Amino acid sequence: MFQTDKIKMRRKNIARNPGGGNTRLLLVMLGYLCLIKGAVAAPQIPAMFAFGDSLIDDGNNNGLNSLAKSNYYPYGIDFYQGSTGRFCNGKTVVDALCDLLELPYIPAYTTAGPNGTSRLGGVNYASAGGGILDETGQHLGERYSLNQQVLNFESDLNSIRTILGTERSYNQFLARSIAVMLFGSNDYINNYLLPSLYNSGYDYTPEQFANLLLNHYTRQILALNSVGLRKFLLAGVGPLGCIPSQRASGAARPDRCVDQVNEMVGFFNQGLRSLVEQLNSNHPGSIFIYGNTYAAVGDMLNNPANYGFSVLDHGCCGIEQNNEWQFTCLPLSTPCSNRNQYVFWDAFHPTESVNLILAQKAYTGNQTDVYPINVQQLAQL
């Protein structure tokens, strides 16, 4: 079983998922954005475009009619802008990657404004509650699914093309930028694992459901590739059976992770790593890398002292019922003071400390962390 202090990484199924003028204008604009952020070095890539769910949403849900919102205290308690809509006490993993790549923090799609210039450093299209499947998270209200996020990105391309001026500058801009994609968690938490609301748990075995997700995912990845993006970081799903909400589900003892849920995630992660190999083989000129989130978070849970963590089984804030932490943070609630010692911020999301570690592993990690190359190497191509 997956115990609190020793998450058993299934080596067969899961643990080995390592899974001219216009140009000058662009450089000036990017340099200006760096000055706004206070960066000294030039960005390593022109832009980052992020697609995903609440793990990296930085405010897209703020204006939506949705239950999945975090634009209130104590969310953002450790972020310099405060409560922006990030589901964390501080930086998301995308923010941390921006730091490492010396990019300005990329704006949310809904706040970037109509001016294409504001999109030249990248845009975050992620939406809390959104999933690979359109129906995922529908009980939470409005959200941008993967399909809609891709459409939102495509709607921005004309303004970016207009600003860059020439087709060559535009093509080079997209080809050198990095797309970060982080999907799958919601398709389990807010779909497959809610049989009272969704039929997927009855209609598909875990392996069939993973294949369904990967088929949908592949189509949208290729859609982004077809319009010019050439560098992709595809992040795997972490050990969902170990998040506080799943521990509190009753499917396992409170001091254990839910083994069955982690096995489900294993099918998806295995398939995603295989998909990366297939995409790299079939699309020369593009490069796809797999971020092994499961192994990275698993190591933090297996060896917490190595990372400075001491609290692994519940969030720093949330609603406690029967000594179990099940939900997100209540507005104006008081979170824990020793946040750097917690793996989880609330019942679903990691702390900034975890996000910083995940970003560093993706940026400089070996092939166990990120495969076949890391983000630093990807940026240099």
Q: Which of 313, 346, 353, 369 is catalytic?
A: 346
Tokens 């570690």 map to which residue?
Answer: 357
Q: Which of 54, 169, 185, 245 is catalytic?
A: 54
Q: Is 346 a catalytic residue?
A: yes
How far CA 126 is from CA of 131, 143, 221, 317, in Å, comes to: 10, 9, 15, 23
For residue 27, what are its two tokens?
A: 């450089």
Cβ atoms 184, 132 nearer than 8 A? yes
Q: Give the Cα separation of 324 and 282 in Å (integer).
A: 47
In three-state secondary structure terms, 39 is: coil
Q: What is the 3-state secondary structure (H, E, C) of 72-126?
A: CCCCCCCCCCCCCCECCCCCCHHHHHHHHHCCCCCCECCCCCCCHHHHCCEEECC
Q: Is 349 a catalytic residue?
A: yes
Q: Is 353 a catalytic residue?
A: no
Q: Which of 200, 216, 349, 369 is catalytic?
A: 349
Kindly write down the DSSP assignment for every residue of 137-192, as one continuous string: TGGGB----HHHHHHHHHHHHHHHHHHH-SHHHHHHHHHHSEEEEE-SHHHIIIII
**Active site amino acids:** 54, 346, 349
